[in-house]
Amino acid sequence: MSEAEVPLEHYVSTPLPTLRWGTPAYAVFAAPAVRAPRQPLLIDAPDRWWAVGITRPRLLMYALVSAAPFSDAPPGGPVTVSPSGRPLSAVREDQRLFDALMDRALPSFLAGSPGDPTVRGDLAATLALVLPRECRDWSLALTPDFYAWLEQ
pLDDT tens digits along 100-122: 999 999 999 999 999 999 999 99
**CA dihedral for 113, 55, 12, 21, sign (positive or negative):** negative
Burial-class residue 11 by CB neighbours within 10 Å (0-12, 13-18, 19+): buried
State yes or no: pLDDT of 2 exceeds 70: no
∠38-1-91 over CA atoms, to 5°? 35
Greatest Cα pair distance, the chain, in angstroms, is 45
Confidence at 74, pLDDT banded by 50, 70, 90? low
